[in-house]
Amino acid sequence: MHRCDLGLIGWGTVGGGVTRILAQDGGLLRERCGLDLRLKTIVTRNPSRAREAPAAGAAVTDRLDAILADDAIRTVIHLVGGTAEATEICRACLNAGKNVVTANKAMLALHGDELFQLAADRGLCIAFEAAVAGGIPVIAALRDGLVANHIQAIYAILNGTCNYILSKMESEGRGYREALADAQRLGYAETDPTLDVDGTDTAHKLAILARIAFNGRIPFAAIRTEGIQSITFDDIRSAHTMGCRIKLLAVAQRRSNGLELRVAPTLVPVDHPLASVSANYNGIFIQGHAVGTTLLVGQGAGAMPTASAVLADVVDICTGRYQATANRFTFFTQASPVSLLPENEELTGSYARFLVPDRAGVLAGIATILSKHGVSLLSIHQAAPDREGQAIIEAVTHPHRGGSFLKAVEEIDHSALTVRPTVTLRRL
Ligand SMILES: NC(=O)c1ccc[n+]([C@@H]2O[C@H](COP(=O)([O-])OP(=O)(O)OC[C@H]3O[C@@H](n4cnc5c(N)ncnc54)[C@H](OP(=O)(O)O)[C@@H]3O)[C@@H](O)[C@H]2O)c1
């Protein structure tokens, strides 16, 4: 039996899941892996705060040095959120010669270059399965299971809060605010949900996935990111009539002329496997040249699913497996910077909903402007006018260069063809 003394920094939601598994299921890990995992010390901001989670036999303190100065602790579980302080703590752990297991995607998306280099220079590991899609082992799948593949595309639902909100809006006919309040009541959304609903959290995770999939350093700030705050029930209903659902999608697509990365609310046809990933679930659809397509689905957040991924990394490091495999990969140290395709070079299908005056020639006028900009239509139809004499025209396009569609819509909105700014969404 191999004994491993562990330190935990940050005893919140995920930290509580980790101590619960170690307290309740240590026997399972002993039996399966021959590992005696001992949580020796927990460092947390308020050690005296009452918690439901067990301490798993650990000493609890607010002194970071209790872990940093303890030579018996070789591996630290880092579960502090945010970026500045979290990065400082991670740096301190590496400088003290500790391997780090973290769930902090923001830290890795923004400061991964520096931290992974520091780990490599010191012969240490940073393991981060829990940072993307919680309990779904997508990092291991991309890094190990799909290692022989040129990854052509990843389409992913990576934020359970957004997926819950959009699913609720669709299934119960609710508005965005109402569905968000419901998510907050059930603990699926933070009191301040900004980083989830504005797409930033999804972009952090996409940056990490893309780095592994495309073996390059991803300029996080260059990922075009839109959130779900302006999605209305009308959008959901329109998507439904088009045979689609709206999902906040992370898209990574290899093109002949470069890499497209974006996060945006996207119409997903109902027969696509991602359309049925609902509620707070995450789904990752990956296309590789050898494997074809593969889909991973599961709980992308929550104490126990995320702790499940954290402990998988702990086991990998404590058995030496991580050092023998993951640490040999070049994703985080030797990869060169990747330049992303500008929006006007992206190839994407689109949906547009035009509110138009009910008069002859409007539909033809819209179709003409779209065609002038090289946008070809998959379908276009006009609904019956309302009592105010306005009608809705909905158009779905074939894939086109992103810039041309936006220019066409701008021209249409500046003409007398529409009565209010046009609603546009991307289509998978
Ligand atoms: N929650 C999820 O489902 C989930 C899923 C995937 C990834 N993650 C990521 O996992 C990380 C942790 O998330 P969480 O939900 O567990 O956060 P959380 O519930 O807010 O817990 C964070 C913990 O860190 C402690 N802390 C804050 N600053 C500290 C410091 N300077 N030194 C020591 N401890 C400090 C806090 O201490 P006190 O409690 O003592 O005040 C708190 O317990 C985040 O990066 C998050 O993005 C979370």
Q: How far is the CA of 13 from the centre of ligand 1 (A)?
A: 6
Cα–Cα separations (whole angstroms), residue 321 to 125, 137, 317, 326: 11, 16, 6, 8
pLDDT value at residue 17? 97
Pocket test for ligand 1, best of 41, 68, 79, 108 (most atoms within 8 A of CB): 79
Find out whether the beta carbon of 302 lies less than 6 Å from any atom of ligand 1: yes
Instruction: List the beta bridge partners of residue 102.
Output: 78
Q: How far is the CA of 80 from the centre of ligand 1 (A)?
A: 4
Q: Rounded to whole angstroms, how far apart are CA atoms 323 and 364?
A: 63
pLDDT value at residue 61? 98
- Which residues of the chain register pLDDT less than 70? none
Q: Which residue has the tokens 């996060």?
A: 263
- Residue 82 CA: nearest ligand 1 atom is 45
Q: Which residue has the tokens 């700030």?
A: 221
Pocket test for ligand 1, best of 43, 45, 107 (most atoms within 8 A of CB): 45
pLDDT value at residue 344? 79
Find out whether the beta carbon of 79 lies less than 6 Å from any atom of ligand 1: yes
Q: Which of 102, 144, 139 is nearest to 124 (CA)?
A: 102
Cα–Cα separations (whole angstroms), residue 320 to 31, 344, 354, 356, 389: 17, 46, 59, 64, 71
pLDDT value at residue 46? 96
pLDDT value at residue 301? 93
Find out whether the beta carbon of 130 lies less than 6 Å from any atom of ligand 1: yes
pLDDT value at residue 352? 93
Compute the C-alpha angle 276/186/310, nearest 5°.
75
Q: How far is the CA of 9 from the centre of ligand 1 (A)?
A: 9
Find out whether the beta carbon of 288 lies less than 6 Å from any atom of ligand 1: no
Q: Please identify every residue annotated as catalytic.
A: 205
pLDDT value at residue 347? 83
Put simply, whether the predicted model's pTM sits higher than 0.75 gets the answer yes
Find out whether the beta carbon of 9 lies less than 6 Å from any atom of ligand 1: yes
Q: Rounded to whole angstroms, how far apart are CA atoms 214 and 329?
A: 12
415: which 2 tokens? 């003409």
Q: How far is the CA of 130 from the centre of ligand 1 (A)?
A: 13
pLDDT of 267-307, one tens digit each? 999 999 999 999 999 999 999 999 999 999 999 999 999 99
Instruction: Give the torsion through C-alpha atoms of 45, 47, 48, 49, to 10 deg.
Output: 60
Find out whether the beta carbon of 81 lies less than 6 Å from any atom of ligand 1: yes
